[in-house]
Amino acid sequence: MDIQPDLFRHRYPLRVRYHHVDRQNVVHNLWYFYFFEEARVEYFRKLGIPVNESTFISHHRFFVVRNVCDYFAPAAFDEQLTILTRITFVRNSSIGFEHVAVKADGNPAARAEHVFVHVDTATDRPSRVPDDLRQKIRSFEGDGVRFLTE
């Protein structure tokens, strides 16, 4: 897979731990979703959003509506990975993320796309991505993010 690391402004390093691997000594496929979630939280922190126990409950509530992951090369115990994260689009109520788990040799281990829908905290119904969050994303991502209308 040909990745373009320069498109990703956020990088999150991590080391594969023993509990991440299966009996074949490679990262179990489910763990990549946890790695990507950790990277997303750090991405929001990098945007300047305070991250605490209520951030994603009462301030920026999102529901995951799509998770897709492709796997390319296994990562093993004690291997260093870097999770590249970017937002690829913002629509009225949804945000698209892309992640790539990159091995120390520069080759991708996995690539994922996720779609999150912003919801009203009182009704749990889709609501417009707040303008202040849109501005933070635009400032961080620059021309790399598409703002689309539905």
**pLDDT averaged over 10-residue windows placed end to end, the chain, 150 residues:** 86 97 96 97 91 70 94 97 97 97 96 95 92 95 87
Entry pTM: 0.92
Question: How far apart (Å, rounded) are the C-alpha atoms in residues 136 and 141?
Answer: 8
Confidence (pLDDT) at 142: 93
Confidence (pLDDT) at 50: 81
Confidence (pLDDT) at 5: 85
Please, are residues 36 and 112 in contact by the beta-carbon 8 Å criterion? yes
DSSP character at residue 93 = S
Confidence (pLDDT) at 130: 92
Confidence (pLDDT) at 3: 81
Confidence (pLDDT) at 55: 63
Please, are residues 33 and 67 in contact by the beta-carbon 8 Å criterion? yes
Please, are residues 127 and 134 in contact by the beta-carbon 8 Å criterion? no
Query: Residue 21 has which token pair?
Result: 């691997």
Query: Residue 72 has which token pair?
Result: 């390319």
Structural domains in the chain, sorted by start: 7-141 (3.10.129.10)
